[in-house]
Chains A and B, each alone.
Chain A
Amino acid sequence: MVIIKARKLTKYFGQICAVDNVDFDIEKGVCFGFLGPNGAGKTTIMRMFYCIVAPTAGHIEIMGMDIKRHASKIKSKIGVMPQDNNLDLELSAFKNLIVYGRYFEIPYKISKRLAYDLLDYVGLTEKAHENIRNLSGGMQRALLLARAIINSPEILILDEPTTGLDPHSRHNVWHKLKDLKEKDTTLILTTHYMEEAEKLCDKVAIMDRGKIIIIDTPKHLMETYGGNLEDVYLKLTGKKLKGEENNNNNEY
C-alpha cells in the first residue's frame, strides 16, 4: 500500500530550483532513504511532508489525503526528527515531552506515563529532570527521537538522524529505528552516511540538484553498478560532487 505519493513535485526558492519535477511512491512499513549531496533537495522534500514548505507545483498525498487540505490531520499521524535541535532549552527532558504531547492533545495522565516510558526507551531516565543544556549532543538527539514518536506516528520523518553523533550513539539510534520498523512504522530518512542507508533502507532515492536520479533497493543498485552503496552513490552523483564540496552550507 502506498502511504506517500508525490507527483510532479517542484519547489523554487526565488530563482533557485530546489526540487525539480520529481515523482515517487513510498510504501507503507518500509524504510525509505533520500540520499544526495548538500543542496540536492532532500530536506526540502522532507519539509514539504510536514507542510513547512509549500510546493511551488505538483502535489503530495499522504495516507490518501492532500497535504494542502488536511495538514493538521496528516501531521497528527507523523513524527518528525529534525536536522536541527529545536528542543525547548529552558525545560527539562521530561517537560519537553509533556509540552510536545499537548500539541497532539494527549491527556496529561497518559503523556506523563508515555514520557517516562520514552525516556527509558532512549536511555535518558536518569536525565529526566535535568535541564536540556546539560545533555550531551547524543542525548539531545535521543530526546528528539523520543519526542518524535510520542504520538505513535504511522510515518516517522528523520532528517539526518545521526549526523554529528559518535559511533556508539549512532548505533543506538539505528537500533531504535530498526525496532520501530518492526512495529510497522514507515521510516523516511535523509542521510549522508551510505553505511546508514545500506543498513536501514529498503529503498533509496538518489538525488542531485533537485532531481531524483534513481529509485531502487540498495541491493539491486549494488548488483547493477557494483561495489557497495557508497560506490554506487559516487558513480551516480560523483561528477557533480566536486562542485558541491564548496557549497556545504546550502542545504535547502
Chain B
Amino acid sequence: MSHSLDGFTPSSIERPEALDQLSKTLAVITSAGHSATPWGGGTRIGIGNIPTSYDTAIDLSGFTGKIEHEPGDMTVVANAGVTISTLNALLAKEGQRLAFEVRNPDRATVGGSVASNAPGHRQSSTGGIRDWVIGMQIVLADGTVTKSGGRVVKNVQGYELHRLHTGAYGTLGVVSQAAFKLLPLPPEQQTVIAWFDDQEVAQEVGMSFVNGLFMPEAISLLSGPLASQTLEAADESVPTSDIWALLIRLGGGVRSIERQVNEVVGTAGAAGANGYAVLNDVVANSAWRRLDKAESAADLSIRMTSRPLVTLEASDTIRTEVLNAYQSDISTICDLGFGAMTLLTSTSSEEESALISNTIIKEIIKRPASYVIEKCPLNVKQAGDVFSDVGNSIELMRRIKNQYDPANTLNPGRFAGKI
C-alpha cells in the first residue's frame, strides 16, 4: 500500500497544499499525541531506522505553489513539493541550474532532497546540498512556522538552522520551503570513460584528476559488476569482468573542455588504461543513469564517507572480504572528489544481506568514517542502527530533538542513534 514503511501502514494520509494547512495538520497530529512521517517523492523515504510509531503520512507532493527564480541574483526559492527536475527545467531557461544533483530527479522533491541531504554525481565538484541551502522555512511539530537564513547568496544573521534541518530527515520539523544559491549551466559538457585491469593504476589516475588543475564536474571510480555494466551502457564491450572504470564528466567553455578531455585521455592512456572513450551525450546519459539504476536495483546499499583515499582502500578490502566469505561480487562507486563510496549488492536471501552488511560495517568502523545503510531488508534494520555511531554528541542531538519536537511526533526513532 502507498506510504507504507518498514511494515507499518499509516492510518491516515494528509496532503497539505498550503502553509496554513500544513501548519494546522501538524498542530492537530501533535496535540493528539500521534506520530507523523513527512513524505516527498518517496525516493529516499526508506532511509532510516524502523519507526517506533507511524500514524500519519504527510504527503507534500502537492505542496508546490511557489517557485521564485531570480536569475540576476542566481537564487531560487521553492516549495517543498516541487520536483528537482521541474525546478531544473525552469532554471535552465535562464542558463542556470541547481548546484547539486540527485538521483531520480523526476520524483525527488526539494523538501525530501534537503531533508535527506540527497547525494548526486556532482558532489565531487560542488559538495552536498548543505553547501547550497541559503535559507529555509520550517514548520515545527506543533505547527509553528519558522525561518532562518535568507534569500541572498551570503547571509550571516542568527543561527543557521537551515543547516541543522538539512540532513535531519524530517525529525526536527517539516521543510516547507528552501532557498538555494545557483550555478550557471556550463557552456559544454563531455563525459569520458576509461577502464583499467589494475585497480591501483585506476585509483592513482582518478586521484590525479581530483588533485590536479581542474576538478571534473563528476568523477566516479566503479568496481565490481557495475564497472562492466556501465561500460556496456557506454557501448564498450570488455572481455574481463575484473575491471575498474573511471567515469568522468567535464564542464566548461569550448577551449577549456578540449584541454580537459585531452588531459584526461592523455593521462589515462599514459598510465596504461585498457581503453578509454569520449562519449556522446546520449551514451553519456545512459552511462550515468546506469549508476542510478544499480542503486535502485540493489538489495543492499551502504554509503560511506571518509577521506577519499580511505574510501578507496576500504573498497578493495571490503570487496575482497565479501567475495572470499560469501562468493558475492559487490560493486562500489567511489566519488573521488567528495570522499563518498556507495557499496551495492544483490543478495539471495535476507540472511545473506545481514551477513554481508555486518561484514561491510565491521570494516567501515575500523576507519575514521561515517556511514548510512541506505537500502536493506527489514531484518538488517531490526538488528541495529542504519546510521553510524555519532559518538559523544548523541546527548546533544537528543537535547536538540527535544527542543524542536518535544512530543516526539516526527519520524520517531528513525534517525541516527534511534532519535
The answer to whether A and B assemble together is no
Question: Which B residues have a C-beta under 8 Å from some C-beta of A?
Answer: none
Question: Which A residues have a C-beta under 8 Å from some C-beta of B?
Answer: none
